Structure 1
Amino acid sequence: SPAAPTCLIASLFAVLPSPRQVSPLNLRRLALTTLQMLDVDYDLSSTVFKQSNDSAWGQLEIALSACLPPNIVYNLTVYEIDTGQTTLYTVKKSISNAKSLGVSSDSASYLVASSNVTFSVIPEKVGESSGGGTLYILNCSDANGWWITGYTSHSLAEDLYNLLSPYFQTTIMIQNTQQLGQILNGTSIQNEQVQGAVVINTCGEAVPIPSGYYASNGVGYDTSANSYALYCYTLGRRVLQYNWTWASIVGYPLYYVANTGLFPSEQNDWGIYGMRQVGAAGLNAFLLGIDNQSYVYNSGWITDDLPGVVYLSDQARYYSNYYGVYPSPYQTATRALPSWITSTYHLTVTTYVFNQVDSYNPGAVYRHTATVNGTSGFRGSLLALGVTRTPDIRLTALGILSDFKPRLYRSEYTAVGTSRLVVLQLGQVGGA
């Protein structure tokens, strides 16, 4: 008979590590997030400054126990910080739910300040040491805007005033085109410094034009071309003469001229009356003016519609955090200026609001280089934001602040006992 088959049975035994060893609980992170959660409505900050017998401490114990898993024990200690010649930490209160935290524990600390602590930020004023320091915001009641969809010039002017006026020695709202003509003549409105001012045009692609002299033949109106591009040229000459920084907040700069009294029956082909199209000739003429070149009518389009989105530059993101001005970090740009204008018109980009894309700048500050009394330096500037409507005036504020860089002086007014350190130590009990 055949032999019986032989069977081999093998048994393997492996000891698996406990779940605690495979994925240990991060007690330090748990302690920190627990403290942050307890202070989400400043309840922790309020409680730690109360008397040790206050009922708020009992509420804190209840909240603390509710935040932690049942197998976690804790000790929470509050220290008062005395900053004299040497820093001293004095225990003010300690609460715990166990006599011992076990063989291993970890902790996190959290610094809180009393409501008696007052912080203040005092900005440096533009022009304090270098002259100038005036901010003009065009808020002309007799000039309509274009490509400011969703806003009015007035609402944009108010927002810009709130954002930027703390950084300037004088801020003036230009209420009508007559006042605009006044400063174009070099005459102050309120005894402010006209030289070295910043002028923000809130009308978008349109620019207010005063009636009379600045709209007259040979000054603002080019009869041969039937165009007000000559006004844009004169505007560029004034920017150079007075060393202004002219800010265009959106779109194609100086594409229209606006004055409801001067153009009561004319419109911009889109139904906005009191406005007349200048086209690309406006910006071309302005650049000739700021460079003190002879006026030539040129209607050639120079901007580009960039694909996709453009992103804030590293410089802009840095100053966004510094000044607390946070526009969207990416935008669409359909009116980006070419980089060749810097060599053609003696301009230098001193601030990139957005990263350059190929040979186009979606948003930048251009400072004009001129020689005055034998000394070469910057004189006259243009902030051009070639973004698509609707405008985000935080970009305008960020561009100006990034270029002028006024410093922020931060102060803290404190008294003894206004800062306390909270230390939460956690331990784990129970089996694996």
Structure 2
Amino acid sequence: MHLVYENVLKNLVSLWTGNFKDMDTGQGDYEFEPGVWESIGAATAACGAHIPSTFASNPPNVADDKQATTADSWSFWMLYIAPIVLENKFRRKVYYDHFIELVKLVQICLKFSLSSDDIERLRTGFKDWVVAYEKLYYQNNPSRARACPLTIHALLHIADLIKVVGPVWTYWAFPTERYCGRLQPAIRSRRHPFVSIDNYVSQDAQLSHIKMVYNVHDRLTIPRRLRNPDVVRGIHDSHPDYPLYVLLGPKRTLVDPSVHAKVRVHLATRFGKPLSMILQVYDPQDVVQWGCVRRLEGGDDMKAAELTNLNAEDRRDATFVRYELLVDIAPRSAASNFVARQFYGQLKNILVVKLPASTDLNLSKPTTYMLALIHQSDAKVASISGLDIPYYKKLTRKEVVDVATIQCLVGRVPPSALLPASQSRGWGIIDRSGTIARGYYIPDD
């Protein structure tokens, strides 16, 4: 973990900013122009308001806030923010492409399980990356040997380490940060903090000895009470037809008439019935809106923008989501051909709609639907040096979808202030979900 985030990545940043061991660029051209790194740091700090707090701590300004940057923050920056904020910042694209190759290799390293093909890709990938590094930064010049610290060579051993020990998530950790986290609650005195730390370390060691000598580890260890996010307290609502979703407060019974209109259109499309028939069974008094929907089994808390104060100080936006719909790719054909497509947008309202039994709608009993009004974006996936990143420039139409189509939260990176609007890709989308968090539509054979 520290090999990449605290060494290789920091060395690359030092090279790009002209602060690496008093080296010049030689025959290369990898240093940023004056002011570029400062703008990257400011752009990174500006991302915080648009990235949910569950993703990571508030990203610091990587250019000038050295005290706030940790291995954890560098990791998130490298994997999700840097590919967006570094694009078009180098004088030559080859340096950006080289960095993105490292990002893709680290992404493979962090997979929960790796196949033999993955390990071989890492072996050849890191080999090619190191060779390219030597060409770009060492430049085959012995006088520039200090550009090749031991950490560059260590990358060549990652594949073999994974093959012997297993996936890196089992041992790439933050031991120092975690130990400091244990020490922090022990500081009882601001005037004499080190005395508090000394006492805690001594007493903790004594207690550990007692546990080992007298074999009373289980009796003297206070069990940790971990919060189970699937156990919901307070105001909430759930329904058997939506086993993976729980609605959380605040709760409102007053719903805007324009929202009712869109819900009725959604129901008409859903049942394939005329709007006049929906009006006969749809009662606005049976519609309630909620402020948050939680996806259980490790999912996210996704908030409704209409019931969230997005302008509050230090607010981290948790209203943008990824959702999946079945789209007819041949709408003018007699035979429909539906495929699953991903969309991104802002969650505006979360609604519970109750319909009575209706023979016209083939409802044999009263039925409850959890719906969401989403302000859809015009997001398109851009393949940047082989890395697929969704971007959007504007929010388009609002549509009502079933809550079960919502997959996860996403973060956003604002457009670069250095580029005119005509050249900017727009807002970059941070989608951190992997295969374990995604629902897939598998068509019938």
After TM superposition, the score normalised by the length of structure 1 is: 0.20
Larger helix proportion of the pair: 2
Give the structure with higher Rg (CA): 1
TM-score by length of 2: 0.20
Quick check: which one's strand share is greater? 1
Structure number with higher relative contact order (C-alpha < 8 Å, ≥ 6 residues apart): 1
